[in-house]
Chains A and B, each alone.
Chain A
Amino acid sequence: MAASAARGAMALRTNIGRPVAFVRKIPWTAASSELREHFAQFGHVRKCTVPFDKETGFHKGMGWIHFSSEEELHNALQQENHVIDGVKESWFRTETEERFRRKNSQAVSLARSTPPK
């Protein structure tokens, strides 16, 4: 039991401290460079990934923004709405909230997250 608890924590620790934002509902017209451009106003974007589906040639509407500091991430999270290419996005801080919104709204969302490696 102790071992498994410790393992859980390991995963937890890598989650914390990486200033990464998870963005949902990215309009199809925007790709990573557009996202990068938008989020540059909040801080230095170290990396921005919007994975494309090689089966369809479209992305799945989600992406990850790696900021260089927690503070910058915080700046970005502070703003209620993000509009890229005229499509409104909303940001959410926590998982629960995001799940709730996913059910109830059509808006674009963001949460802090760990990106896929």
Chain B
Amino acid sequence: MAALLRSARWLLRATAAPYLPLSLRLLAGGPGRPHAALCLRAARARPVAGGLLSQARLHSIAAEKKNDLQEEPTSSHRRNASQFDWALMRLDNSVRRTGRIPKTLLQKVFDNTCHSGSPGGNQALLLLRSCGSLLPELKLSERTEFAHKIWDELQKLGTVYDVSHYNALLKVYLQNEHKFSPTDFLAKMEKGNVQPNRVTYQRLIAAYCNMGDIEGASTILGFMKTKDLPVTEAVFSALVTGHARSGDMENAENILTVMKEAGIEPGPDTYLALLNAYAEKGDIDHVKQTLEKVEKSDLYLMDRDLLQIILSFSKAGYPQYVPEILEKITYERRYIPDTMNLILLLVTEKLEDTALQILLACPISRESSLNDFGSFFLRHCVTVNTPPEQLRDYCKKLKEAQLHTSPLQFTLQCALVAQKFDLAKVLMKALKEEGFPIRTHYFWPLLVGHQKEKNVQGIVEVLKGMHEMGVTPDQETYVNYVFPSFDSIESVRAVLQENGCPHDDNVFSQAELRSKAVNGNLDYILSFMESNTLPFSFASLRGSLILGFRRSMNINLWSKITELLYKDGRYCQEPPGPTEAVGYFLYNLIDSMSDSEVQAKEEHLRQYFHQLKEMNVKIPENIYRGIRNLLDSYHVPELIKDVNILVEREKTDSRKTSKPSSSDLESKLEKLKAENQPIGDILKQLILMLCSEENMQKALELKAKYESDMVVGGYAALINLCCRHDNAEDALNLKREFDRLDSSAVLDTGKYVRLVKVLGKHGKLQDAINILKEMKEKDVLIKDATVLSFFHILNGAALRGETETVKQLHEAIVTLGLAKPSTTLSSPLVTLYLEKDDLPAALESTIDCYEKYKILPRIHDVLCKLIEKGETELIQKAMDFVSQEQGEMTMLYDLFFAFLQTGNYKEAKKIIETPGIRARPTRLQWFCDRCIANNQVETLEKLVELTQKLFECDRDQLYYSLLKLYKVNGDWQKADAVWNKMQEENIIPREKTLRLLAEILRNNNQDVPFDVPELWYEEEKDSPTSLPSPVEVNLQKELLNACRTRRNKDAFNIFLTAKKQNIVFDNEAYARLINLLLMKDNSTQAMQVKDFAETHIKGFTLNDAANSLLIITQVRRDYLKDALTTLKTALDLDQIPSRLAVTRLIQACALKGDTESVQDIQKLVNGLEDSIGLSRMVFINNIALAQIKNNNIDVAIESIENMLTSENQTVDPQYFGLAYLFRKVIEGQLEPALEKISIMVERLANQFAVYKPVTDLFLQLVDSGKVDDARALLQRCGAIAEQIPILLVFCIRNSQRSGKAPVMKSLLELIPELIDKEEAYSCLMKSYVFDSDVASAKALYESLTAKNVKLNDLFLKRYAVLLKNAGESVPFTEPPESFEFYAKQLKESKETHL
């Protein structure tokens, strides 16, 4: 660690200087330097002591390893060391857990060791030692063979053997009862220039003794004596065995006496040797006697020893004595592995019956999770080819003994794994007899086996076997396991027929189809479907078709096949019919694709849908909605409109009419209200509908009107609506009303979050925090998505630079415990300053976060910026802080990444070469992922390059990341170079790396120079590869940024730059740019962008909003024909243009007198009025206006009159508002028209009692200051004065605008009785206040008090404030509370009256 310190300090002081920007270099050389160094030293004083210690430890470990592997070159010794650790760990684990090593594991470790190049002595020893009794599943001869293989192979690879290796080999020989010549062995050692030691001699004696060669043993013994080597108990035990095996039991027994004489007390090993000797002779009596003797002595035989005796009896052919020994076994838990090993060994020796006997005696808990304890026995029996019938019997016994829950199934599995068809057949029959089903997939492992060898005959046998077993092969069987072994499917058919192998033609044909589909052969599929005569259900084809579609990009074939399905009588004609079936097919097709796949194939899908449209293929609306949701969740909403064109309209419309429109509901509501019936439900329904129509104004009006009947649900929807429309004021008021209605009511999480967002955005911080508090109090469910929303709220505020908002909301969220502080959630605190380029504050903020929450948000970005700006002192400060709080290593990594990111590779190199630094996989991976996400090829390449010598660095993983990035960019040359670099670095690539590499090469039509490991599941073959290049991505990012910040000029310039370089952005980017340009009223540029996009992106279209904006702009510029075309285009795309756009266009046409266009528009939007939110009155008004402008006054008037007097009225006269028409006529001074209109409305009033038009005309006259005309009209038609509701609405509307006091005044002069209405005088006062007309207000107040009208507090408050502002005294006590309070009070009092 001291070294770590040194290098970092040195780097900062000197080396960094030449590469850092000039200003920094000056700084570093100037007087600031000594100070910085001083600081560093002071800050590091503490950690140094600990650091030194840990480094010392590191060195000692390295030294130890070095001793083991002396001959290794230093560069590779670390890798070998870690590999050795790994191998040791695997083998050691296995031995500790089970007392044995599976052959496959040993083989794997051996292969790996060989692969690593030059295996060390340790590894060799480890491998050799494992070849004895640790392999109970192998025959003795096989084990020795294995040992020899290892010995020779490693020797070839340059391993130098020492005496430990020879001794290990000897031990293996003894354990495996291998017969060999000890003299030859000694000669071999001599040749290898290795001196035998005591252990060698001991083992050689044992070897002689095992063969019963006492003479040989004596020779060695004599040799040991001359060398003055001590004779141990092991030698005496060996001699016991030796004498016994030579047939001399007496001398064997005598050895014990000899031992005692020699001063060595016989221990358990010696007795065990004797016991084994008796057992081998079948002498149970002596065994028992000896055991008793041992029991009486203070010696103790372990279970393991007893098991040894059992083995001796069994191997010598005396299984009858086994039970007697079994009785003596205590079955201590730790000996269970030994018992299992004995069982395995016995099975290996073909003594299965004895093995079973021992197994059944095992006191295993029968209910525990280990209840399939017998598995190891069954599996091994299968391996050693125990006869099928015998195995079947074992299964039965194990089941009875509750040692296995499903022995037959398990054994069958083993048989299948081992490809033992005959055994499998017997077991399947047994299963069948016991009533278990035999399933198709049971045969797959067998087929796989034959498939690997392309053994056609074998496959036929299995298929026949299936038939025998009454199992029919299904599609999958054919496709996955049969077809691959044949050259063609035709030949499969032929071979099956030839061999009399029955098969279902239907299934076979479907399999064939599927197989073609998997390969994307849509041509075949099409021709098959055209010529097919088999009764195929569409359902059976669907899966294959979807696969095929996804594998082939031939859209024409997609469409043709779909058309066939839709129209051909063979496929989808039964109920529910082709519309449903094809609809579901499309749904399933999209559902089966991943989001990235759909994104990549967006254009293809669009073409496909359009072709289907041409073919007149339709889908039901409910399925369309499902598809829409899918596309939405895949983030490709742009495709929705393309699917929408397929919707079957007729049905849609019939459904639509059954749903009441908002105006229906409204009239129903008024009716109920008039009848004094409860309206709560219908009100809520109407509010919800208005909300879904996004009609905020209307919804709010409605709420104001029927406040007393509002329910919680209505408020919730309204609050949400206001939030969506960014209307903080109303949202907050509604929330308060909501609380008053029911203080315990809880909104859903999303609505709370939206409220917080809107309130925060409008600077209502305290209110936002109150909402957060409420969320806590009401224990609102906080999901991951909620936390993410919090982040977005904070981040949005940070990007807008709203310091207080970010800080206070973050503080509130964290202290309330709504979300835990995390690097993500807290990052806006830092972003705030990074965006402002205030680096000291950014760093301060990061450090502050650490002190408060122990997290360091955006430290990487902060460091990068500091390096870019050359802020030495701040870098120093950051490093000091990080190293103090999180350790040197973390600091170094932070610095390393920051240098890499900023392109200071030399500095990065210095850091990563700091002695003592180790790989931190998670941090490296983090940086790799970052590079991949941002497509930083060079940075990642540098990372991989610089970490080459990093200790414990997972090179393969790093290269894997690099390949991932190359794959994204489709750069196969670089990927190929990686392959070579990996060989150079001697890295053993993991399978996934090879697969990825192969995929890149294949995708680019290159040969793959190695065997590709197959995947066990099907992988995407045609994943997207044509991702945009970094330049494009960056330009596009800039463009989107400019759009976001509404810099239209910049954005347009970026577009021009890209255009010059022939770079094409995606749909979204162009749509945003066009929107922005239109918003800035720059339609020429917008059209330029649109034209470019249309010529460069197939099927580029503007979205709803853009088209609406375009229409508005065109209307404003008086390009009415163009606007009409735009509207047509939008409607053709099934877009819903905005109400404003359509209304503006209609009005513009009407003012031109262009009746035809208005009528055209009416036809165009027919059926969409509700979706757009257009009232029929818009057309009635504007058509009439256009006609009048065209001097067709009579026609206009006649048609209006007809509408109002005919039997079947389309619009309730109550709502037949012609105010717009009247206003325009008055404004336009169209006197003849006005005259005729006047006559008409009077006629309507007098003859038909329709008063709405006359009242409207009257009000418009008043409004335009034509008071005399109005008065005259009123005199002619007195009923106007009785139209109180219409008049009041007029008052309320006017009181909301300023400058309307004169109008109101004139109205009240004309109809003085109106003043008695509370609404009217309130509105009047409001208007006076608006216009600060104190005199009129006074007059109003006095006239009202004179009439003894009881004035409400709100009125008084208004008046009082007006007076005060005018500096006049208030003749009454001013109501003390706020306006809001009285407004509320007033509403409440009204509610109670009702």
B144 within 8 A of A: no
Q: Does B784 contact A (CB under 8 A)?
A: yes
Residues 324-369 of B contacting A (Cβ, < 8 Å): 369
Q: Would A53 and B784 count as touching, CB distance under 8 A?
A: no
Residues of A within 8 A of B1014 (CB): 54-55
Residue from B785, B824, B827, B861 within 8 A of A16 (CB atoms): B785
Give the residues in chain B near A52, CB-CB below 8 Å.
441, 444, 476, 480, 1016
| B1015 CB → nearest A CB, Å | 8
Q: Give the shortest distance, in Å, between A97 (CB) and chain B (any CB).
A: 17
**CB under 8 Å from chain A, chain B span 1342-1369:** none
What sequence of 0s and 1s flags, for each residue 82-101 of chain A, a beta carbon within 8 Å of any chain B beta carbon?
00011100000000000000
Assembled-state Cα–Cα distance A85/B413 (Å): 14
Contact across chains for B445 and A56 when beta carbons are under 8 A apart:
yes
Q: Which residue of B lies closest to A2 (CB)?
A: B795
- Does A4 contact B933, Cβ atoms closer than 8 Å? yes
> Is B594 within 8 A of A117, CB to CB?
yes
Q: Give CA–CA (A91, B1111) in the complex, Å.
A: 57
Whether the Cβ atoms of A57 and B448 lie closer than 8 Å is: yes
Q: Could you say which residues of chain B place their CB within 8 Å of the CB of A13?
A: 633, 785
Choose from B406, B785, B824 the contact partner of A5 (Cβ within 8 Å).
B824
Residues of B within 8 A of A5 (CB): 788, 791, 795, 824, 827
A79 within 8 A of B: no
Are A86 and B405 interface neighbours, CB within 8 A?
A: yes
A28 to B375, CA, bound (A): 14
Alpha-carbon gap, A38 to B945, bound state (A)? 53
The CA of A34 and the CA of B515, in the complex, are separated in Å by 24
Q: Across the interface, do B827 and A116 meet the contact criterion of CB distance under 8 Å?
A: no
Task: Tell me which residues across on chain A come within 8 A of B441, comparing CB atoms.
Answer: 31, 52, 57, 59
* A43 beta carbon closer than 8 Å to chain B: no
- Complex Cα–Cα for A74 and B439 (A): 30
A107 interface hit (Cβ, 8 Å): yes
Interface check B417, CB cutoff 8 A: yes
Bound complex: CA A7 to CA B824 (Å)? 12
A7 to B788, CA, bound (A): 11
**A116 CA / B596 CA spacing, docked (Å):** 13
Report B112 CB to chain A, min CB distance, Å. 20
Complex Cα–Cα for A53 and B1018 (A): 9
Question: Could you say which residues of chain A place their CB within 8 Å of the CB of B792?
Answer: 6
Given the interface pairs A4-B930, A116-B1017, the reply to whether A57 lies near B444 with Cβ below 8 Å is: yes
Contact A56 B448 (CB under 8 A): yes
Bound form: Cα–Cα A1–B595 in Å:
23
Enumerate A17-49 residues with CB–CB distance to B below 8 Å. 17, 27-29, 31, 34
Tell me if B's interface is mostly helix, strand, loop or mixed.
helix
Contact with A55, one of B476, B933, B1016 (Cβ below 8 angstroms): B1016
In the complex, A75 has a CB within 8 A of chain B: no
B466 on the A face (CB < 8 A)? no
| B888 CB → nearest A CB, Å | 24
Are A58 and B593 in contact, with the CB atoms below 8 A?
no
When distances are taken between beta carbons in the complex, the residues of chain A under 8 Å from B827 are 1-2, 5
B446 at the interface (CB under 8 A from A): yes
Query: Please, how many angstroms separate the alpha-carbon atoms of A86 and B799 in the complex?
Result: 59
Q: A57–B445 contact, CB under 8 A?
A: yes
- Contact across chains for A55 and B448 when beta carbons are under 8 A apart: yes
A1-B831, A16-B784, A87-B405 known; A107 and B593 CB under 8 Å? no
Chain B stretch 961-1017: residues in CB contact (< 8 A) with chain A: 1014, 1016-1017
Query: B635 contacts which chain A residues (CB < 8 A)?
Result: 10
B617 interfacial contact with A, CB 8 Å? no
Chain B residues near A86 (CB-CB < 8 A) = 405-406
Q: How far is the CA of A54 from the CA of B482 in the complex (A)?
A: 12
Residue pair B784, A54 in contact (C-beta under 8 Å): no
Q: How many residues of A contact B (CB 8 A)?
A: 38
Known: A2-B795, A2-B831. Contact between A57 and B593, CB under 8 A? no
Partner of A1, one of B448, B594, B861: B861
A86 to B404, CA, bound (A): 11
Q: How far is the CB of B621 from chain A (nearest CB, A)?
A: 19
Is B1159 close to A, CB under 8 A?
no
Asked if A9 contacts B858 (CB within 8 A), the reply is: no
Q: Does B952 contact A (CB under 8 A)?
A: no
- Rounded to whole angstroms, the CA-CA distance of A117 and B599 in the bound complex is 14
> How far, in whole Å, are A6 and B789 apart by their CA atoms in the complex?
10
- State how many angstroms separate the Cβ of B442 from the closest Cβ of chain A: 8
User: Hey, which chain A residues are within 8 Å of B480, CB to CB?
Assistant: 52, 54
Query: Could you count the A-B residue pairs with CB atoms below 8 Å apart for me: how many are there?
Result: 103
Q: Does A106 touch B at the CB level, under 8 Å? A: yes
Let me know if B597 is at the binding interface, CB within 8 A. Answer: yes
Residues 589-605 of B, flagged 1 when their CB comes within 8 A of A and 0 if not, give 00011110100000000
- Docked Cα-Cα span, A77 to B970, in Å, equals 43
Q: Chain A nearest CB: distance from B1011 CB in Å?
A: 13
Beta-carbon contact of B445 and A58 below 8 Å: yes
Instruction: Given A16-B785, A52-B480, answer yes or no on A85-B831 (Cβ-Cβ < 8 Å).
Output: no
Q: Kindly state the separation between the CA atoms of A51 and B900 in the bound complex, as whole angstroms.
A: 42
**Alpha-carbon distance between A116 and B1020 when the two chains are bound, in angstroms:** 10
Q: Does B416 contact A (CB under 8 A)?
A: yes
Q: Please, which residues of chain B bring their CB within 8 A of the CB of A58?
A: 413, 416-417, 444-445
What B residues does A85 contact at CB under 8 A?
406, 409
CB contact between B597 and one of A4, A10, A17, A117 (< 8 Å): that residue: A117
A68 CB to closest chain B CB (Å) equals 11
Q: By the criterion CB–CB under 8 Å, are A29 and B439 in contact?
A: yes
Which residues from B are CB-within-8-Å of A60?
1016
- The answer to whether A28 and B413 touch across the interface, beta carbons within 8 angstroms, is yes
B478 contacts chain A at the CB level, 8 A cutoff? no
**B448 adjacent to A54 (CB under 8 Å):** yes
Interface residues of B in 740-791 (CB under 8 A from A): 783-785, 788, 791
- List chain B residues, Cβ under 8 A from A107: 369
On whether the beta carbons of A117 and B593 are closer than 8 Å, the reply is: yes
Residue of B nearest to A53 (CB): B1016
Q: Is B481 an interface residue (CB 8 A)?
A: yes
B1307 at interface by CB-CB < 8 Å: no
B447 within 8 Å of A (CB atoms): yes
How many angstroms between the C-alpha atoms of A16 and B369 in the bound complex? 33
Least CB distance, A67 to chain B, in whole angstroms: 14
Chain B residues with CB under 8 Å of A8's CB are 824
B409 touches A51 (CB 8 A): no
Establish whether residues A51 and B448, one from each chain, have CB atoms under 8 Å apart when the complex forms: no
Nearest residue in B to A116 (C-beta to C-beta)? Answer: B1017
Closest A residue by C-beta to B796: A2
CA distance A116 to B1016 in the complex (A): 13
Interface 0/1 of B884-908, CB less than 8 Å to A: 0000000000000000000000000
Question: Which chain A positions have C-beta within 8 A of B1020?
Answer: 117
Question: When the two chains form their complex, are residues A57 and B1016 in contact, meaning their CB atoms are under 8 A apart?
Answer: no
Cα–Cα distance between A24 and B592 once the two chains are bound (Å)? 22
Complex contact A51–B1016 (CB within 8 A)? yes
Question: Which of B449, B594, B784 contacts A12, CB < 8 Å?
Answer: B784
* CA of A9 to CA of B784, assembled, Å: 9
A60 to B635, CA, bound (A): 32
Taking a contact as CB atoms under 8 Å apart, the answer to whether B785 and A27 are in contact is no
CA distance A58 to B1017 in the complex (A): 11
Least Cβ–Cβ distance between A85 and chain B, in angstroms = 7
Q: Which residues of A contact B857 (CB under 8 A)?
A: 1
Interchain CB contact under 8 A, A51 and B447: no
- A35 CB to nearest B CB, Å: 12
25 contacts between A and B (CB under 8 A): A1-B858, A8-B824, A9-B785, A12-B784, A12-B785, A12-B788, A13-B633, A13-B785, A16-B784, A17-B633, A29-B439, A52-B441, A52-B444, A53-B1016, A55-B448, A56-B445, A57-B444, A57-B446, A57-B449, A57-B481, A58-B416, A58-B445, A60-B1016, A105-B369, A117-B597
5 nearest A-B residue pairs (beta carbon):
A57-B445, A57-B444, A117-B594, A53-B1016, A57-B448
Interface residues of A (CB under 8 A from B): 1-10, 12-14, 16-17, 27-29, 31, 34, 51-60, 85-87, 105-107, 116-117
Given contacts A5-B795, A52-B1016, A54-B1016, 7 further A-B contacts (CB under 8 A): A1-B857, A2-B831, A5-B824, A10-B635, A16-B784, A31-B440, A57-B444
